[in-house]
């Protein structure tokens, strides 16, 4: 039996782990570009809405898997600033799914000690959706387990611009000098300032690009691209992606 098979059989599905093992091996922060819902539906002769609904079911299972594996942060690219270009009917259905997910799953998320966070510009979202995600945040704000960040109406370039503007205002108020503007100062002004940068980025459906997602934060992130569309992405695919990550040698620009 190979070392990876032994490792995965030993730790799969457990709700508690050896802390030193987690610290050394399991990625603390996993980010996912959930791509391919429409292609999944088209191949089956179904409407795109069916693909998005299937994608929601896949997302639910991946959240469970991340929690079971002891991941600290899971960031899910749910709706980009560019997605507004899609047909109005499709966009409305996507917001309906957001509402449905939190209504159906909030009890389990609370039970699992999951903390819900949102990154992105919420002001453009429907009022009902804004209320739904605010309620979910309030219900999980004290939870200390897995942090699930939903990127909703999110674009990384916009996030970086806003962060630079925040730093510039501090300079205008004489709180900072130009020489004080460091990577740390900019990172602290990002929406993800309170979580570590992603260790692993997974993208489904075969495309190999980052699509304006966490551009600052993924400077040293390991990428895993899988051919399966998001609705086809299972707990097994999630575990295999972690397995691939564990084979990588991360040097962060230095030598081993």
Residues assigned a catalytic role: 35, 83
CB neighbours of residue 151 within 10 Å? 27
Tokens of 235: 């707990």
Q: Is 85 exposed, middle or buried (0-12, 13-18, 19+ CB in 10 A)?
A: exposed
The per-residue b/e assignment along 64-76, b for 16 or more CB within 10 angstroms, e otherwise, is bbbbbbbbbbbbb
Identify the DSSP state of 195.
S
Tokens of 154: 């999110």
Tokens of 113: 């000690």
Q: Which residue has the tokens 């609904």?
A: 53
- Please state, in angstroms and as integers, the Cα–Cα distance from residue 140 to each residue in 4, 101, 106, 190, following that order: 34, 15, 9, 22
Residue 82: name the closest of 120, 127, 129, 134 by CA.
120
Tokens of 249: 């040698």
Question: 214: phi > 0 → left, psi -120 to 50 → alpha, else beta; which?
Answer: left
Identify the DSSP state of 241.
H
Rounded Cα gap, residues 57 and 189, in angstroms: 33
């Amino acid at each position: 039996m190979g070392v990876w098979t032994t490792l995965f059989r030993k730790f799969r599905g457990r709700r508690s782990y050896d802390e030193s093992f987690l610290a050394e091996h399991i990625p603390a922060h996993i980010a996912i570009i959930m791509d391919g819902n429409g292609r999944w539906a088209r191949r089956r002769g179904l409407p795109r809405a069916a693909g998005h609904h299937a994608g929601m079911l896949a997302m639910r299972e991946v959240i469970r898997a991340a929690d079971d594996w002891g991941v600290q942060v899971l960031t899910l690219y749910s709706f980009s600033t560019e997605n507004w270009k899609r047909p109005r009917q499709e966009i409305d259905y996507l917001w309906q799914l957001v509402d449905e997910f939190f209504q159906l799953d909030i009890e389990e998320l609370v039970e699992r000690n999951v903390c819900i966070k949102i990154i992105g510009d919420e002001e453009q979202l429907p009022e009902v959706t804004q209320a739904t995600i605010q309620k979910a945040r309030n219900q999980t704000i004290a939870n200390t387990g897995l942090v699930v960040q939903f990127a909703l109406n999110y674009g990384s370039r916009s996030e970086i611009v806003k962060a630079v503007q925040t730093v510039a205002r501090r300079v205008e108020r004489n709180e900072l000098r130009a020489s004080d503007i460091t990577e740390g100062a900019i990172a602290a002004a990002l929406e993800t300032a309170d979580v570590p940068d992603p260790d692993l980025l997974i993208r489904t459906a075969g495309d190999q690009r980052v699509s304006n997602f966490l551009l600052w934060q993924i400077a040293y992130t390991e990428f895993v691209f899988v051919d399966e569309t998001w609705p086809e992405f299972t707990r097994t695919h999630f575990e295999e992606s972690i397995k691939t990550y564990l084979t990588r040698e991360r040097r962060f620009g230095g030598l081993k």
